[in-house]
Amino acid sequence: MRIFKFGGASVKDAEGVRNLVRVLEETGTEKTFLVVSAMGKTTNAMEAVVDAYFNDKPSVSSALEAVQTYHFGILRELFPPEGHPVHEKVRSLFEEVRGFLAWNKSPKYNFVYDQVVGYGELLSTVIVSAYLNDSGIRCSWLDIRNYIKTDSNYRDVSVIWEKTQSAVSELSNRSELFVTQGFLGSDENNFTTTLGREGSDYTAAIIAYCLNAESVTIWKDVPGVLNADPRYFEETRLLELISYREAIELAFYGAKVLHPKTIRPCVENNIPLRIKNTFNPTHDGTVIVPDNGNGNG
């Protein structure tokens, strides 16, 4: 099984979703698991909804309406304006958010945050999976909350590995293309939990660990890992091959490579991790490997 993770920048608009299809046409889809982030800056926009809920209730409706307008704009570019079931699916997700905010009695910010913000990933995967199927790439949509089980320490959860391993392992004998959400899990009461920022990368690593995947590929809008931040240094070069240890060190010193918690599950099972450009899928990008980085182990 290969795990592909597509970040929000890769699916920020209709052209990004179309490009995702082109990537899969180039790479193939057999025994592939897609983990998809919320589209564009949706997580920030959903955080604004939660902030409004606690600090400025009259503005909740307009904050959520802005998120809905953005997603329906993408729908209009990808699907027929009427009759396609994806419109109703997306509309019903927004109604679920409104319903939760109407009946919720919990005063706990972190709990409300996890129940609301995670809808960004549910929306993106419903749209992506529908477009893949319409494009002739058959796929199965999965609710990752049924598979990644966590404690109830909302916004800062720990994965319950035994339960997660048991649930995810049930998928190991299925060969279809899966589309699922990053960032999300659920607790023992089936309330939504979130895995923290960079949580979609972590989701990909968790699934890879549980399925003992052959590789994890993080598709980004950059060519791979650079040796320095191009915002501050004029001359940078692509690092084609680095070790897990080097990747962790780069992250420690502020490089936006991968969070150490994302790397750890891959280290455990010696799973190579690739960083590739979603707009140049044939380019090798960067490979992070479980050795000293020179191929000698």
pLDDT in tens, the chain (297 residues): 999 999 999 999 999 999 999 999 999 998 899 999 999 999 999 999 999 999 999 999 999 999 999 999 999 999 998 889 999 999 999 999 999 999 999 999 999 999 999 999 999 999 999 999 999 999 999 999 999 999 999 999 999 999 999 999 999 888 889 999 999 999 999 999 999 877 899 999 999 999 999 999 999 888 888 877 777 777 778 889 999 888 877 776 666 667 678 888 988 889 999 999 998 998 889 999 876 544 444
State the pTM of this model. Answer: 0.93
Q: Tell how far CA 54 is from the center of its chain.
A: 26
The helix or strand, by DSSP H or E, that contains position 12, with its residue range, turns out to be: none
Q: Which residues, 6 or more positions from 76, have their beta carbon under 8 angstroms from its beta carbon?
A: none
Assess contact for 6 and 36: CB atoms under 8 A: yes
- DSSP 3-state helix, strand, coil percentages of the chain (rounded to 5)? 45, 15, 35
Angle between helices 85-103 and 119-134 (to 10 degrees): 170
Q: Which amino acid is at 249?
A: E
Sheet holding 215-220, edge to edge: 139-141, 177-181, 32-36, 2-6, 215-220, 273-277, 286-289, 241-243
Q: Is residue 137 classed exposed, middle or buried when 0-12, 13-18 and 19+ CB atoms within 10 A define those classes?
A: middle
Question: Closest Cα partner for 49 from 61, 32, 34, 40?
Answer: 61
Say what the pLDDT of residue 139 is: 96
Say what the pLDDT of residue 253 is: 64
Q: Which amino acid is at 239?
A: L
Question: Closest Cα partner for 17 from 174, 126, 100?
Answer: 126
User: Using DSSP, how many helices (H) and how many strands (E) does the chain show?
Assistant: 10, 12
Beta-strand pair 238-239/273-277: unpaired
Give the SS3 label for residue 169: helix
